[in-house]
């Protein structure tokens, strides 16, 4: 008998028919002799619908009370757990649903993006011992003072992994509307291939560079507690992708995946005075407003001044421009320019650590298609290029071909 955690995303519980489908799958696992904990998201579109209601109360994008936003959006998962628990019971198995606070998913108090600190497994264990299928609301928790918190968009993935870690589950399966992790977005590149396995670090890079299958924090959590995640489809029986610890065989692939992100905008400050404290002034002002800067590039200075370019999420573009323009006057920079028509394309692979010419191959492949590279950044297992957004798809396809990602390596055939 194994302890299995299964997580079903919004599309998998998007209608009563689909909830029944999930109930059948869960029951099947139970009847194979396992204990099952199911973590669910809100029904498809529900979280967006709730946020839209709130937005109507926020003219001129005034900031809303985040504590109340959490109370609002946490309601989506309350609906789906109840429906799933009832669906399971009508099919003849015992179930019990729990909200985050009922099983003490304790988080910090950072509303709308809280982090899980601890999970009290007692109540879940009791229900399991009582032969029940346990259905837990994803995405939500409670802070030390009893306020409802949520974990950020896509947070149910993290709930599932945290529960799997907390209860030392044997398996954590994340069911979604795709059947695994692909070398790149199959909607962009027909030749994208499903990976049998991918390491935590590669998955983290792909997720932070724009791949949307798993919430980044869920992968961080899984890595920290060495929980293998099996990403698979709730609509079929095929094996998905295992996100797990790396091993030697995985290093054979130089590039494992390609991600793209169209949700970035670029800001350049010209003629920044070259003296200590200037970058600190600019980026503290941005950080204070909660804006997360991605790439930063500073030129070598000539005549005691330099240029500074960086990227921010598109949603924060206007606000960032305003903040930076203000700072520019204070520090005596020349001018600020912005460009929203950019995208970031990244290649990711742990094999890069041991291969020398990966970046140059990437640049050459883009050059052959006349795609101009505006910014470059690298990490040990990633190279990212900012390009004009209309070339995004082309860049992804060209790189997929260059690194022959459609070909399976021997290690995966074993
Ligand atoms: N319902 C939340 C969202 O839409 C959490 C999740 O689905 O993982 O982001
Ligand atoms: Mg999701």
Distance 103 CA to ligand 1 centre (A): 19
Average pLDDT, integer, range 328-347: 95
SS3 274: coil
* Distance, CA of 149 to CA of 157 (rounded, Å): 15
Q: What is the DSSP string of 264-318?
A: EEEEEEEEEE-STTHHHHHHHHHHHTT-----EEEPPPBTTEEEEEEEEEGGGHH
Reference 409, options 251, 189, 247; nearest CA is 251
Residue among 14, 48, 136, 138 to mutate when testing ligand 1 (max atoms within 8 A of CB): 138
* Distance, CA of 366 to CA of 165 (rounded, Å): 42
Does pTM top 0.95 for this prediction? Answer: no
Residue among 154, 159, 160, 215 to mutate when testing ligand 1 (max atoms within 8 A of CB): 154
Residue-range domains of the chain with CATH: 3-177 (3.40.1160.10), 258-402 (3.30.2130.10)
Which residue has tokens 């169209």? 262
pLDDT at site 211: 83
pLDDT at site 356: 87
Reference 400, options 252, 187, 222, 204; nearest CA is 187
SS3 162: helix
Tokens of 271: 């003629």
Residues with CB under 6 A from ligand 1: 9-10, 41-42, 47, 76, 138-139, 153-157
* Distance, CA of 351 to CA of 353 (rounded, Å): 5
Distance 321 CA to ligand 2 centre (A): 31
Distance 154 CA to ligand 2 centre (A): 4
pLDDT at site 212: 83
Residues whose CB falls within 8 Å of the CB of residue 261, separated by 6 or more in sequence, listed in order: 209, 210, 343, 344, 346
**Of all atoms in ligand 1, which is nearest to the CA of residue 48?**
4
pLDDT at site 210: 82
Distance 216 CA to ligand 2 centre (A): 11
Report the mean per-residue pLDDT for the chain: 94
* Distance, CA of 258 to CA of 349 (rounded, Å): 9
pLDDT digits (tens, 9 = 90+) for 371-411: 999 999 999 999 999 999 999 999 999 999 999 999 987 54
Average pLDDT, integer, range 69-89: 98
pLDDT digits (tens, 9 = 90+) for 237-287: 999 999 999 998 888 889 999 999 999 999 999 999 999 999 999 999 999
């Amino acid at each position: 008998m194994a302890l299995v955690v299964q997580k079903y995303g919004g599309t998998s519980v998007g209608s009563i028919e689909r909830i029944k489908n999930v109930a059948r799958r869960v029951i099947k696992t139970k009847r194979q002799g396992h204990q099952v904990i199911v973590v669910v998201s809100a029904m498809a579109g529900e979280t967006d619908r709730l946020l839209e209601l709130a937005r109507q109360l926020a003219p001129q994008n005034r900031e809303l009370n985040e504590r109340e936003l959490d109370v609002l959006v946490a309601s989506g998962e309350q609906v789906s757990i109840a429906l799933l628990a009832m669906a399971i019971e009508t099919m003849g198995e015992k179930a019990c649903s729990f909200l985050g606070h009922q099983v003490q998913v304790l988080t910090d108090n950072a509303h709308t993006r809280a982090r899980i600190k601890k999970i009290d497994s007692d109540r879940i264990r009791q229900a399991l011992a009582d032969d029940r299928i346990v259905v837990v609301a994803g995405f939500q928790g409670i802070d030390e003072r009893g306020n409802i918190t949520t974990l950020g968009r896509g947070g149910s993935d993290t709930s599932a992994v945290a529960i799997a870690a907390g209860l030392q589950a044997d398996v954590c399966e994340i069911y979604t509307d795709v059947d695994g992790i692909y070398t790149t977005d199959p909607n962009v590149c027909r030749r994208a291939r499903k990976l049998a396995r991918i390491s935590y670090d590669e998955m983290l890079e792909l997720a932070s560079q724009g791949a949307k299958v798993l919430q980044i924090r869920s992968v961080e959590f899984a890595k920290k507690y060495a929980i293998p995640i099996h990403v698979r489809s709730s609509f079929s029986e095929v094996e998905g992708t295992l996100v797990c610890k790396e091993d030697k065989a995985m290093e054979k692939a130089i590039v494992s995946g390609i991600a793209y992100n169209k949700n970035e905008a670029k800001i350049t400050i010209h003629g920044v005075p070259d003296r200590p404290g200037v970058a600190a002034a600019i980026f503290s002002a941005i950080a204070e407003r909660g804006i997360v800067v991605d790439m930063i590039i500073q030129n070598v200075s000539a005549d005691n001044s330099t240029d500074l370019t960086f990227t921010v999420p598109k949603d924060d573009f206007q606000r960032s421009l305003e903040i930076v323009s203000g700072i520019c006057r204070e520090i005596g920079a020349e001018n600020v320019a912005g460009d929203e028509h950019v995208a970031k394309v990244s290649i990711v692979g742990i094999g890069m650590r041991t291969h020398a010419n990966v970046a140059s191959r990437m640049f050459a492949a883009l050059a052959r298609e006349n795609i101009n590279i505006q910014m470059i950044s690298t990490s040990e297992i990633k190279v990212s290029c900012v390009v004009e957004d209309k070339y995004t798809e082309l860049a992804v396809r060209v790189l997929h071909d260059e690194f022959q990602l459609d070909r399976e390596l021997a290690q995966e055939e074993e």
